């Protein structure tokens, strides 16, 4: 990518984490849309080569001829913004986006108090900031997440039979995501529902390997290893294809910051069963585009899954309603415009 002139850079969005995470995914999907609205670049490791970005060293040495926005989404990025502004005397307005729905640590609160403006990804996240914040819900890129042009062919390519009912759950494999609850619900339901399948994709870190191994042992003991599968960490393009191929998505998390996956599933025409955590109550219309259950309520989760597994017509109607809901309320362009308005206020 050719070097971006300094006079075209109004916003720098740092990403100080090499591995793919929810925050990294947010940066990667938003910046191409925002770049059509304002001069914005990312900086940091592990970014796609086609994303507008500059090296960290250049971000630290941009000319002091005018103000720019430093848009942080992590503590490390807030701290670096303070260093650039107060030690290197760069002219950065400091902006922080928070998705956390918990009381922040003392250090995080100290960093937050030194920001020029705040964005929260949900009203719940805003309530923990102890300062006014602009609430901007995440959106989803409908040019990426959409129903497959030939869903039958895609499912056949992925090894699913035409009458299979495929449940998906995508994200890191750990207790926080409620994967153990989902597996237990599947173990209860699948013996009497031979069409049901469950696929789970996501990285298993070393500290969660024993957790995952225990679940796999339970599945094997039940004789369901061919119908309940851990796919591991798969390329992003394959994640999108998996969304397009499944019939029902699940997000049984015990806690969540925002939780974008139900929106991605909905954009592909798939309803979701989720717990009442994160922003799920805002994103899912209970009974219309999916179901909401209380966190850690295995019986309620099992009942909700059974309802959608047993109602082919209702599941398809909910998927269509979910797609329409996302198109109307959660397209990424709306999120990008709202964030860009915050940038413009800071720069004015």
Residue 175 clears pLDDT 70, i.e. is over it: yes
Q: What is the pLDDT of residue 257?
A: 75
Residue 120 clears pLDDT 90, i.e. is over it: yes
- Average pLDDT, stretch 321-346? 96
Q: What is the pLDDT of residue 342?
A: 98
Q: What is the pLDDT of residue 48?
A: 85
Q: What is the pLDDT of residue 123?
A: 87
Spatial strand order in the sheet of 11-14: 40-43, 11-14, 68-72, 92-98, 117-120, 134-135
**Three-state DSSP class for 283?**
helix
Q: What is the pLDDT of residue 70?
A: 98
Residue 136 clears pLDDT 90, i.e. is over it: yes
Report the share of the chain in percent with pLDDT over 90: 84
Q: What is the pLDDT of residue 20?
A: 60
Residue 166 clears pLDDT 80, i.e. is over it: yes
- Average pLDDT, stretch 201-219? 95
Backbone angles phi, psi at 308, to 5 degrees: -75, -30
Q: What is the pLDDT of residue 1?
A: 62
pLDDT digits (tens, 9 = 90+) for 102-111: 899 999 999 9
Cβ-count burial 89-128 (b if 16+ within 10 Å, e if not)? ebebbbbbbbbbbeebeeebeebbeebbbbbbbbebbbeb
| Span 151-329 CATH architecture | 3-Layer(aba) Sandwich (3.40)
Position with higher pLDDT, 162 vs 130: 162
Contact 240, 263 (CB under 8 A): no
Q: Where are the domains of the chain?
A: 6-139+331-347, 151-329
- Of the candidates 163, 153, 82, 73, the one whose C-alpha atom is nearest the C-alpha of residue 115 is 82
- Of the candidates 45, 6, 48, the one whose C-alpha atom is nearest the C-alpha of residue 31 is 48
How far apart CA 22 and CA 68 sit, in angstroms, is: 25
pLDDT digits (tens, 9 = 90+) for 249-292: 999 999 887 788 999 999 999 999 999 998 898 899 999 999 99
Domains 6-139+331-347 and 151-329 alike in fold: yes
Q: What is the pLDDT of residue 182?
A: 98
pLDDT digits (tens, 9 = 90+) for 8-59: 999 999 999 876 667 888 888 899 999 999 999 999 987 888 899 999 999 9
How far apart CA 47 and CA 25 sit, in angstroms, is: 10
Mean confidence (pLDDT) of the chain: 94
Angle, in degrees to the nearest 10, between helices 106-113 and 75-86: 40
Query: In this structure, which topology does domain 6-139+331-347 adopt according to CATH?
Result: Rossmann fold (3.40.50)
Q: What is the pLDDT of residue 206?
A: 93
pLDDT digits (tens, 9 = 90+) for 57-89: 999 999 999 999 999 999 999 999 999 999 999
Report the share of the chain in percent with pLDDT over 70: 98
Q: Enumerate the H helices of the chain as residue ranges.
A: 22-34, 56-59, 75-86, 106-113, 123-126, 151-157, 179-189, 209-221, 236-245, 261-267, 280-283, 298-309, 312-329, 332-347
Which residue bears the tokens 């592990």? Answer: 46
Partnered with residue 275 across adjacent β-strands are 293
How far apart CA 277 and CA 166 sit, in angstroms, is: 24
How far apart CA 343 and CA 95 sit, in angstroms, is: 8
**Three-state DSSP class for 169?**
strand
Q: Side-chain half-sphere of 54: how many Cα atoms within 13 Å? A: 20
């Amino acid at each position: 990518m050719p070097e971006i002139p300094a006079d075209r850079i109004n916003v720098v969005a740092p990403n100080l984490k090499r591995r793919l995470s929810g925050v990294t995914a947010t940066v990667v999907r938003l910046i191409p849309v925002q770049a059509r609205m304002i001069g914005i670049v990312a900086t940091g490791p592990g970014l796609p080569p086609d994303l507008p970005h500059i090296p960290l060293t250049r971000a630290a040495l941009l000319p002091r001829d005018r103000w720019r926005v430093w848009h942080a989404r992590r503590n490390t990025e807030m701290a670096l913004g303070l260093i650039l502004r107060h030690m290197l005397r760069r002219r950065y307005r400091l902006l922080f986006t928070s998705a956390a729905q918990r009381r922040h640590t003392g250090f995080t609160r100290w960093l937050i108090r030194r920001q020029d403006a705040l964005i929260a990804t949900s009203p719940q996240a805003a309530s923990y900031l102890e300062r006014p914040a602009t609430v901007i819900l995440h959106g989803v890129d409908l040019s990426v997440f959409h129903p497959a042009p030939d869903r039958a062919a895609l499912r056949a390519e992925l090894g699913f039979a035409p009458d299979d009912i495929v449940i998906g759950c995508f994200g890191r494999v750990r207790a926080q995501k409620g994967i153990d609850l989902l597996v237990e619900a599947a173990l209860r339901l699948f013996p009497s529902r031979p069409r049901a399948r469950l696929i789970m994709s996501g990285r298993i870190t070393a500290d969660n390997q024993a957790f995952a191994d225990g679940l796999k042992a339970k599945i094997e003991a039940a004789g369901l290893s061919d119908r309940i599968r851990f796919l591991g960490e798969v390329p992003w393009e394959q994640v999108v294809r998996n969304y397009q191929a499944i019939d029902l998505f699940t997000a049984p998390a015990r806690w969540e910051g925002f939780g974008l996956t139900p929106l991605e599933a909905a954009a592909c025409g798939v309803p979701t069963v989720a717990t009442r955590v994160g922003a799920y109550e805002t994103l899912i219309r209970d009974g219309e585009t999916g179901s909401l259950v209380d966190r850690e309520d295995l019986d309620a989760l099992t009942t909700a899954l059974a309802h959608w597994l047993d109602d082919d017509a209702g599941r398809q109607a909910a998927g269509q309603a979910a797609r329409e809901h996302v198109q109307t309320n959660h397209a990424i362009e709306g999120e990008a415009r709202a964030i860009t308005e915050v940038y413009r206020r800071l720069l004015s």
